[in-house]
């Protein structure tokens, strides 16, 4: 687990889907003056340079956010996400991409809180140097899964839990499901966003249905599942072909935004094409 660093994958197609959803959820929370708390269980380093280091080695961003950067036909939700990224590239050249903590900080207001967890020592040090001194922000080198009891529900009863493990070890799959159950038991109205890779693994294939079952009857506003398939597995059946985002208690604005954005993203990001997308939801 501690060998994984998200920097190698920064800005790829999975980041695009995950961060687009994150921006949309935070925008909805910001529609009301009352503060919110965001708990990010696997926060990473916060931001990533595309000009050197791990992100430049694999350059996965070129077939992810790189394909969106110069487009002038962006759907509204994609355009909103790109506007946030442009805030980190003021000269108009794509040089760095924000991770989820940087996006959360960019959209956070003084009354809002961030609780960020990262176990990798290098990434924790970078993240702590970046956001650790910010008022309203706590950066911990600790297990984010184990912190839910102390952080949920937030005092304002408004908030977001982002669960985004690497899934490099199979126990991550086993821990996501009880984390969702615990979150909804403690904070039934809270929004929970869970990212899942599309892999040729039984655990990855079964997790979305298990999350649906866990959320049904427990999430006050139901659930939503959004997915993009943009690649093909290699000859041995290995490789991430896309990703899925599961949302418990999705804001009512999220589904129409994704219904507009997902077909466009499937077309633009597929390599080789054609891509595919999915969108499903259920009320409480």
Residue 91 known to be catalytic? no
- Rounded CA-CA distance 255/173 in Å is 25
Architecture of the domain spanning 6-282: 3-Layer(aba) Sandwich (3.40)
Could you tell me which of 252, 246, 190 has the C-alpha nearest to residue 219?
190
Q: Is residue 235 very low, low, confident or very high in pLDDT (cuts 50, 70, 90)?
A: low
Tens-place pLDDT, residues 15-27: 999 999 999 999 9
> Over 70: is that where the pLDDT of 3 sits?
no
pLDDT digits (tens, 9 = 90+) for 253-283: 999 999 999 999 999 999 877 899 999 999 9
How much is the pLDDT for 2? 54
Q: Provide the pairing of β-strand 137-140 with 113-117.
A: parallel
One of 15, 112, 123, 164 is an active-site residue; which one? 164
- Angle between helix 254-269 and 76-86 (nearest 10): 80
CB 269 within 8 A of CB 63: yes
Intra-chain end-to-end CA distance of the chain, in Å? 35
CA distances 9 to 48, 88, 237, Å, are 10, 18, 20
Give, as one character, the DSSP assignment of residue 193: E
Q: Using the predicted structure, report yes or no on whether residue 112 has a pLDDT greater than 90.
A: yes
pTM of the predicted model as reported, rounded to 2 decimal places: 0.96
Residue ranges of domains in the chain: 6-282
């Amino acid at each position: 687990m501690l060998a994984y660093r998200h920097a190698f994958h920064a800005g790829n197609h999975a980041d695009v889907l995950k961060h687009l959803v994150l921006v949309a959820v935070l925008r909805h929370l910001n529609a009301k003056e009352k503060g919110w708390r965001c708990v990010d269980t696997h926060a990473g380093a916060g931001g990533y340079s595309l000009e050197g280091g791990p992100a430049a080695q694999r350059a996965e961003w070129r077939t992810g956010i790189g394909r969106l950067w110069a487009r002038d036909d962006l759907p509204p939700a994609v355009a909103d996400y790109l506007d946030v990224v442009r805030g980190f590239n003021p000269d108009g050249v794509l040089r760095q991409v924000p991770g989820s903590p940087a996006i959360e900080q960019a959209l956070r207001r003084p009354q809002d809180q961030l609780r960020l967890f990262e176990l990798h020592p290098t990434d924790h040090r970078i993240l702590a140097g970046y956001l650790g001194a910010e008022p309203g922000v706590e950066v911990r080198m600790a297990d984010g899964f184990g912190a839910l009891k102390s952080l949920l529900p937030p005092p304002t009863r408004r908030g977001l839990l982002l669960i985004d493990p690497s899934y490099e070890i199979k126990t991550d799959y086993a821990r996501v499901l009880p984390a969702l159950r615990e979150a909804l038991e403690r904070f039934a109205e809270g929004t929970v966003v869970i990212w899942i890779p599309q892999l040729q693994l039984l655990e990855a294939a079964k997790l979305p249905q298990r999350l649906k079952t866990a959320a049904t009857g427990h999430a006050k506003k139901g659930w939503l599942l959004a997915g993009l398939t943009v690649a093909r597995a290699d000859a041995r059946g290995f490789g991430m072909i896309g990703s899925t985002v599961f949302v418990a208690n999705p804001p009512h604005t999220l589904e129409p935004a994704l219904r507009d954005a997902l077909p466009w993203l499937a077309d633009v990001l597929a390599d080789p094409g054609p891509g595919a997308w999915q969108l499903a939801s259920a009320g409480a």
